[in-house]
Amino acid sequence: MTQRSQIAVIGSGPGGAVAACALAEAGRDVLLVEEGPRLALESCRPFSTEEMVQKYRHGGVSAALGSCPVAYVEGRVVGGGSEVNSALYHRAPVDRLEEWTRRFRVEALSEKDLAAQSEAIEADLTMAADSSRLHPAGMRLAQGAERLGLPCRQALRMAQAGDGRTAGQRQAMSKTYIPRALQAGCRLLEETRVLRLTWAAGRWVCRARRGGASLDIEAEKVFLACGAIQTPHLLRRSGLGGHAGASLALHPTVKLVAEFADEVNGPDLGVAAQQVKPVGMRYGFGCSLSSPSNLALALLDHPEALTRVAADWRRMAVYYAMVPGTGCGEIRSLPACRDPLVRYRASADDLGGLGEGLRRLAELLFAAGAKRVYPSAGGLGPWSSAAEAGGAAALTSSDARLITIHLMGSCPMGEDRGLCVADSFGKVHGSDGLWLADASLLCGPVGVNPQGTVMALSRRNALRALGKL
């Protein structure tokens, strides 16, 4: 069986959805291909175990191997990560753009160059600021920061405005760019896994499986938006992209549970938007999911507290310390294996920053009234005071329980072909009509939630392919 289109967009997350919409609204014949199922945003309770089973690859259980393994998650559903994340929005920091311009020779990547794309995304999607009353755990983070003289900001959220008591609905791709693309004539092919790309007779042929049947997708141009893990995996399986997957960047993160005397938690709260970034420090702090199941995961190193989650979870909340990683990672495709081998070696700088960040975060939470804190690290804590946390041993690779929800940098963009898989606008070096439109393009850790940057670059790359930029 064969499907034909002018342009195939493989992957329907934020990058793929934005590209498909821009291309379809420009009058192109677009086929949007997604490995996962098409499910309503409301198909299950947000941030639940059911959501992990329905909408995540491997049920949300994946890991980058190394001396200190890093657990990570990937969305696998129409709309990709936007269907399951907290929808916090940031533009790329100026210093990161300047660094990538110098090191990777990326063209047209200044704050001014990307402003029009970011403004277009922000106009398309509602950017809402949460009410400060919505999340008591976030308020505690802000209170502690104020008492220690640390800057705390509230990130914008891609969501409809709430009513002051509840947050508005997330502006997931299934609610925004994908319906627009379909309205403009784009076709959607869900539950279809692309296995290999080949170039034949002036067209791309995407070998795929849908259900139990083989399928060929023929297109003049292909946009890959499978994510920072799956895009290089597909390129490597296809013998394309040179050193695709030779790098991998991420934001190593470690969690901490704080216990308070009064309630800071409740059902359906999601992730608070408050974030703290101490001036001159690599690490930053924020709130994480604090449902009873997430609390239990974060307390695995503290059995005594774990037994109290069922009774006391409303007085507990999960926080994180995060650094833009300076370690090195890679993605390798193995013969006869469906999934790639993912490795990441956390640097001494990563572990040092996270250890200091944990101690400083504990100090902040004690300033906000915490009775006790439990670092998610073997051999550390619990701590009952800021002094006790400050005197704790350094974080080591054997102690750390690292996670990340931000994966990027596996196919960097730029004109330095010794470092870059794609050019400054996402076109794969040495391949006609093959473009990238996801977080794999980023040249390193962006330092904030990368979704806003990915969407701006995807729109820019699509306009470039259309000859409009």
Residue found by looking up tokens 């990027």 in the block: 408
- CATH, domain 128-167+252-404, list 3.40.50.1980, 2.102.10.10, 3.30.560.10, 3.40.50.1580: 3.30.560.10
CB neighbour list of residue 294: distance below 8 Å, 6 or more residues apart: 47, 288, 318
Tokens of 137: 């755990």
Q: Are 161 and 212 in contact (CB under 8 A)?
A: no
Report how far Cα 314 is from the mean position of its chain's Cα atoms: 27
Q: Which fold has domain 2-38+77-125+172-242+409-465?
A: FAD/NAD(P)-binding domain (3.50.50)
Query: Is the pLDDT assigned to residue 268 strictly greater than 90?
Result: no
Q: Cα–Cα distances in Å, from 164 out to 88, 103, 310, 393? A: 18, 45, 28, 42
Percent of the chain past pLDDT 70, that is, above it, reads 98
Q: How many CA atoms lie within 13 A of 298 on its CB side?
A: 28
Q: Are 286 and 252 in contact (CB under 8 A)?
A: no
Residue 162 — very low, low, confident or very high, per pLDDT cuts 50/70/90? low
SS3 at position 418: coil
Tokens of 295: 């609390």
Q: What is the mean pLDDT of the chain?
A: 95
Q: What is the distance between the terminal CA atoms of the chain, rounded to a whole angstrom?
A: 36
Summarised one tens digit per residue, pLDDT across range 390-448 is: 999 899 999 999 999 999 999 999 999 999 999 999 999 999 999 999 999 999 999 99
Query: Is the pLDDT assigned to residue 203 strictly greater than 60?
Result: yes
CB neighbour list of residue 251: distance below 8 Å, 6 or more residues apart: 322, 323, 324, 325, 404, 405, 406, 445, 447
> Where do the structural domains in the chain lie, given as residue ranges?
2-38+77-125+172-242+409-465, 128-167+252-404
Tokens of 371: 């009775």
